[in-house]
């Protein structure tokens, strides 16, 4: 050993530092890889991703290989550093060598490479996989022995390798990933994905047309009035009932009306009965994602919402559910303007039959939606009585002034978001 020139010893130590940095950075990079992106790249055929995924399929063996190599390099480096210390400073060099070596290895073989690997794991892990894979085959007996001992000790604590695997993403975690996707996913697409994730938390009650607003045909009306209603209807499907809205007997598609016009260009109640399809009823409280699948399975686009007693609560359509995902796509802007009218003072004159979710979506507000579904229901829940016009109340930093009431409900209200809420949103 005394015959080995100092330059050779320094060169050997430098190479050992490089090897140690390689093992340290490889460990951090491999563990830091995004498993879902790795799986995607492997399915696309990227060779380095395939190798990395195979190595990570047994993380105990991968970590065993890296630590085996790293510790072996560090032990040899300590011996070489001691030789250099003896050659340069004698016994003092033996005492100083460990301290100098720790500082050098800590900076150049641990902190620096691991930091780089944590910042950009793919650029380190993928090239390293080409080296680690053959090393795994060469050192497999030693790695197997080390893992056999360590896994046996782990089993004493109830830890089994059979329990390993990627935990599935929860809905909240997936929602966070979508929100933080940035420019990778266009904003409109991110909004649609988030809306899809929210479908499970929304029920048909939140989007249905309420009972008192259902446009339907009463077969007890004169045929002239029925045709007048059909001619001025904005919908393509209408429920048909007799005597009471609770007695819905079918659904009529207005495009079928031409088929029942007789030679005298007349329509009869009997011919309307002939083209009616069966009613499709939806239980109140059905989650939207469930109802959408039921619409698809039953080839339906239109359902009547009923409560547990069979009393009709409203109606829901497939278009209503799709609007929860993609947003408004109706061209009837006049209807929207009549529902929510902006005022010069920054407030909004709102028809109280509008759903709270619709108000929140259109105005970017955060009115509570856990209880009542409409603005009328929210105001009555807080007041607990039918108010008079001019009554004002505050709900979660929203100021509402009742402007129009009927005998049993609030018709219109002027609602304004308070300044402190605006400032909080901007902050």
| DSSP annotation of 395 | E
Q: What is the pLDDT of residue 335?
A: 46
For residue 379, give the nearest of 423, 336, 409, 347 by alpha carbon: 409
pLDDT of residue 124: 93
pLDDT recorded at residue 261: 62
What is the per-residue pLDDT for 85?
84
Q: If you write DSSP's letter for every residue of 247-264 in order, what string do you get?
A: -EEEEEEGGGGGGG--TT
Q: Residue 337: in which H helix or E strand, if any?
A: helix 333-339
Pairing state of beta strands 312-317 and 340-342?
unpaired
In order along its 427 residues, the chain shows pLDDT tens digits of 556 788 888 899 999 999 999 999 999 999 999 888 898 899 999 999 999 999 988 888 899 999 999 999 999 998 888 888 888 887 787 888 888 888 998 999 999 999 999 999 999 999 999 999 999 999 999 988 888 888 788 778 776 665 555 567 777 878 888 888 777 788 888 888 888 888 888 889 888 888 888 889 998 888 888 888 888 888 888 899 988 888 899 998 887 776 666 544 567 778 888 888 898 999 998 999 899 999 999 989 889 999 988 899 999 999 888 888 887 665 444 444 468 888 888 899 999 888 888 888 888 888 888 888 889 999 999 998 889 888 999 998 899 999 999 888 899 999 998 865 444 444 4
Backbone angles phi and psi of 285, in degrees to 5: 90, 5
The CATH architecture of the domain made up of 203-319 is Roll (3.10)
Closest by Cα among 408, 293, 427, 409 to 351: 409
What per-residue confidence (pLDDT) applies to 424? 47
Does domain 333-426 fall into CATH 3.30.465.10? yes
CB–CB of 340/354 below 8 Å? yes
Give Cβ neighbours of residue 247 (< 8 Å, ≥ 6 apart). Answer: 241
Tell me what pLDDT residue 420 has.
52
What DSSP designation does 108 have?
I
Domains of the chain, by residue range, sit at 6-162, 168-201, 203-319, 333-426
The pTM for the full model equals 0.61
Measure the CA–CA gap between 102 and 179, rounded to whole angstroms. Answer: 43
Q: 207 is written with which tokens?
A: 């989007």
Strand order of the β-sheet with 217-218 is 217-218, 237-241, 248-253
Neighbour tally for 48: CB within 10 Å: 18
């Amino acid at each position: 050993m005394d015959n080995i020139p100092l330059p050779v010893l320094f060169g050997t130590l430098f190479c050992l530092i490089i090897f140690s940095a390689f093992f340290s950075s490889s460990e951090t990079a491999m563990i830091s890889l995004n498993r879902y992106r790795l799986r995607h790249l492997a399915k696309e055929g990227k060779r380095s991703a395939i190798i990395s995924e195979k190595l990570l399929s047994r993380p105990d063996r991968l970590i065993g290989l890296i630590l085996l190599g790293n510790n072996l390099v560090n032990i040899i480096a300590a011996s070489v550093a001691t030789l250099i210390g003896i050659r340069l400073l004698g016994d003092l060099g033996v005492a100083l060598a460990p301290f100098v070596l720790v500082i050098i290895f800590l900076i150049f073989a641990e902190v620096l490479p691991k930091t780089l690997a944590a910042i950009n794991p793919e650029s380190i892990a993928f090239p390293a996989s080409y080296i680690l894979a053959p090393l795994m085959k060469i050192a497999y007996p030693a790695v197997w022995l080390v893992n056999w001992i360590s896994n046996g000790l782990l089993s004493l604590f109830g830890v089994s390798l059979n329990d390993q695997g990627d935990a599935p993403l929860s809905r909240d975690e997936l929602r966070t990933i979508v929100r933080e996707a940035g420019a990778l996913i266009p904003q409109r697409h991110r909004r649609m994905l988030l809306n899809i994730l929210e479908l499970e938390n929304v029920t048909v009650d939140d989007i249905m047309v309420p009972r008192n607003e259902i446009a339907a045909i009463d077969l007890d009306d004169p045929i002239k009035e029925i045709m007048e209603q059909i001619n001025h209807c904005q919908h393509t499907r209408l429920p048909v009932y007799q005597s009471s809205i609770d007695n819905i007997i079918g659904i009529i598609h207005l495009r079928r009306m031409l088929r029942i016009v007789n030679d005298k260009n007349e329509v009869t109640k009997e011919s309307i009965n002939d083209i009616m399809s069966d009613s499709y009823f939806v239980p109140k409280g059905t989650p939207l994602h469930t109802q959408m699948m039921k619409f698809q399975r039953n080839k339906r686009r239109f359902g009547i919402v009923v409560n547990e007693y069979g009393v009709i609560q409203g109606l829901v359509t497939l278009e209503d559910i799709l609007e929860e995902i993609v947003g408004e796509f109706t061209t009837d802007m006049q209807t929207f303007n009549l529902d929510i009218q902006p005022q010069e003072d920054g407030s909004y004159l709102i028809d109280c039959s509008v759903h709270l979710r619709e108000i929140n979506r259109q105005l970017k507000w955060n009115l509570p939606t856990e209880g009542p579904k409409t603005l009328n229901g929210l105001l009555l829940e807080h007041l607990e009585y039918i108010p008079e016009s001019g009554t004002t109340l505050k709900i979660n930093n929203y100021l509402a002034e009742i402007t129009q009431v009927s005998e049993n409900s609030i018709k219109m209200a002027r609602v304004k978001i308070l300044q402190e809420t605006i400032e909080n949103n901007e902050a």
